[in-house]
Structure 1
Amino acid sequence: MRAALFQMTSGVDPAVNAAAIVDAIGRAKAGGADMLFTPEMAGCLDRDRTRAAATLRSEADDPVLAAVRDAAAKAGLWVHIGSLPLKDERADGRWANRSFLIDDRGAIRARYDKIHLFDVDLASDESWRESSVYGPGEQVVAADTPWGRMGFSICYDMRFPDLYRALTNAGATILLAPAAFTVPTGQAHWHVLLRARAIEAGCFMIATAQVGLHEDGRTTYGHSLVVDPWGAVLLDMGDVGGLAFADLDMGQVADVRGRVPAITNRRDIPAQVTLA
């Protein structure tokens, strides 16, 4: 499988972001890619909630999703939209942070809403309360593609290994972790977490990231990664936006799992802890 990763600096205008993704689809196809991967919040990255509320749409009316589906069909290319912020999707009034898997005919094959929400106060004085705006997803999602079963996660999800255990129990061989990571947490944890998740699962990990200074004033870490099942980094895009390619040998999954059969050797852990 040839993967194309589009490391973006998404802004506040969905039309501009959609045009950039459509252009990347064409360039990915020309570069021989089988599938294009985008970051979290690819369609709009805006922490001004009032401004974003005037821009965002429901899934049925989202112009970024429509443009990407049309471009994917025209190019004959699979696309993973890392996520789009969507409103009018939940009964509680909060927005959804949703991934989409789109096939080479433009059909939506899978949707995943981010389960774990980033509520944290950082030492850098950054404070994030994702749950005040977005509602959590409730379903673990995996989907079949011509190259293997893909398991979905988004950004902060990568800190919760139980999610990836569920995905590999369901047969996933490629894990997806699109992100908009902060710089302090990225510098400390990005590489080690993604390599650990790939090693634990005996899977490929594709983590496409936002990068740089955004229109809304935030700065994201970048370093979109492709990690193989042994934990080797096949691609690290650093701190510059753009398109890059990585070739995945899917035979590595069975090879690595045969050498270190951690999934086969798993046991259910009792919920009760014995205090000695």
Structure 2
Amino acid sequence: MTFKAAAIQMCSGVDPQKNAADMVRLVREAAAHGATYIQTPEMTGALQRDRKAMRDILRDETNDIIVSTARNLAGELGIHLHIGSTAIARDDGKIANRALLFAPGGRLVATYDKIHMFDVDLDNGESWRESSAYEPGVAARVADLPFGRLGFAICYDVRFPQLFRAEALVGAEILTVPAAFTRQTGEAHWEILLRARAIENGAFVIAAAQAGVHEDGRETFGHSMIVDPWGKVLASAGGTGEAVVLAEIDIDAVKAARVKIPNLRNAREFALDTVSDVAGGVAA
């Protein structure tokens, strides 16, 4: 089974309507090049550091402009459109960092709320407390699609290999990592982490990213990319500005990789013992 995938690189600002228009333009470009699965980055709808301003533009899933635009676009173009994520108002008053996948008819196939929250103080003085604004998800998710089984993740999730392994063990052949990686952490780890998740699970990884300096002052790393099950980067973008990253995906390559490196089926349960050489310690 072969299909063309696209990762859309954006530089989302603070206005959801403008971001929706940019998304439409880029998705149309990807579809015009034959892409039938198209993924947008994390926080497609808006990157807004001001919490009050973010609350002011927040909508529930029914009334969100990115959701409605994506639904209509998927129906019109006959594609699977994966909104990497956007901020959604929950019924309990909290905010979800939510991915949404729409089928060619515009039907909502699946949603996924980001599980792992990026709470960190960086050595360049930046401080991020994602958990102070967003409610973490509690469930991993995979979706059976006509071209393969797809597993969800968002940005910081990429640092938790157990999530991807759980998805691969139930048959996920395509792992997704839409992101808004900071420039500093992206330079150090982005490509390494994506290739590692592909190699260790024998799966394709598709990662649409935010890129450049945003209206709210943050800077994101970009370098959206598509990686094959052997860890080869099939296509990638630069570190600034918009881009449409395209690659042909041969889903049979997943089976081939997992036959050559059968680590998913060779994995074994094991006990974990600790020993101590501290004074007075006794081997356990």
Q: TM-score, normalised by structure 1?
A: 0.96
Cα distance, 1:41 vs. partner? 0.1
| Preserved contact between residue 25 and residue 72 of structure 1 (Cα < 8 Å) | no
Cα distance, 1:7 vs. partner? 0.1
Q: Which runs of 4+ in 1 moved over 2 A?
A: 272-276
Q: Matched residues in 2 for 1:253 and 1:223: separation?
A: 23
Q: Matched residues in 2 for 1:252 and 1:174: separation?
A: 11
- The one-letter amino acid paired with 1:33 is A
Query: Number of residue pairs matched?
Result: 273
Alignment-derived partner of residue 163 in structure 2: 163
- The one-letter amino acid paired with 1:32 is G
Cα distance, 1:258 vs. partner? 0.6
Per the alignment, in what secondary structure is the counterpart of residue 257 of structure 1? helix
Counterparts in 2 of 1:90 and 1:163: CA distance versus 1, 3 Å? farther
Per the alignment, in what secondary structure is the counterpart of residue 158 of structure 1? helix
Q: Matched residues in 1 for 2:170 and 2:258: separation?
A: 15
Alignment-derived partner of residue 24 in structure 2: 22
Cα distance, 1:90 vs. partner? 5.1
Per-residue CA shift, 1:94-127, capped at 9, x if unaligned?
Answer: 3100001111011110100000000000011110
Per the alignment, in what secondary structure is the counterpart of residue 217 of structure 1? coil
Per-residue CA shift, 1:153-198, capped at 9, x if unaligned?
Answer: 0000000011011101111000000000001100011011111110
> Unmatched 5+ residue regions in structure 2?
276-282
More divergent stretch after superposition (241-250 vs 190-199): 241-250
More divergent stretch after superposition (129-138 vs 25-34): 25-34
Cα distance, 1:274 vs. partner? 3.4
Q: Matched residues in 1 for 2:264 and 2:143: separation?
A: 19
Alignment-derived partner of residue 225 in structure 1: 225
Structure 2 residue 8 is the aligned partner of structure 1 residue 6: yes
Alignment-derived partner of residue 80 in structure 1: 82
Alignment-derived partner of residue 280 in structure 2: none
Q: Matched residues in 1 for 2:13 and 2:82: separation?
A: 19
Per-residue CA shift, 1:66-100, capped at 9, x if unaligned?
Answer: 0111011011111010001011x153x33100001
- The one-letter amino acid paired with 1:243 is V
Q: TM-score, normalised by structure 2?
A: 0.94
Alignment-derived partner of residue 70 in structure 1: 72
Alignment-derived partner of residue 256 in structure 2: 255
- The one-letter amino acid paired with 2:148 is G
Q: Matched residues in 2 for 1:133 and 1:191: separation?
A: 27
Identity of aligned residues (%): 50
Q: Matched residues in 1 for 2:208 and 2:28: separation?
A: 18
Q: Matched residues in 2 for 1:75 and 1:62: separation?
A: 20
| Preserved contact between residue 110 and residue 143 of structure 1 (Cα < 8 Å) | yes
Alignment of 1:1-276 (within 5 A): 1-87=3-89, 89=90, 91=92, 93-240=93-240, 241-270=242-271, 272-275=272-275, 276=283
Per the alignment, in what secondary structure is the counterpart of residue 255 of structure 1? helix
| Preserved contact between residue 25 and residue 77 of structure 1 (Cα < 8 Å) | no
Per the alignment, in what secondary structure is the counterpart of residue 264 of structure 1? helix
Larger radius of gyration: 2
Cα distance, 1:30 vs. partner? 1.2
Cα distance, 1:244 vs. partner? 2.4
Per-residue CA shift, 1:133-171, capped at 9, x if unaligned?
Answer: 001100110001111100000000000011011101111
Counterparts in 2 of 1:39 and 1:269: CA distance versus 1, 3 Å? farther
Per the alignment, in what secondary structure is the counterpart of residue 44 of structure 1? coil
Q: Matched residues in 2 for 1:195 and 1:25: separation?
A: 25
| Preserved contact between residue 174 and residue 205 of structure 1 (Cα < 8 Å) | yes
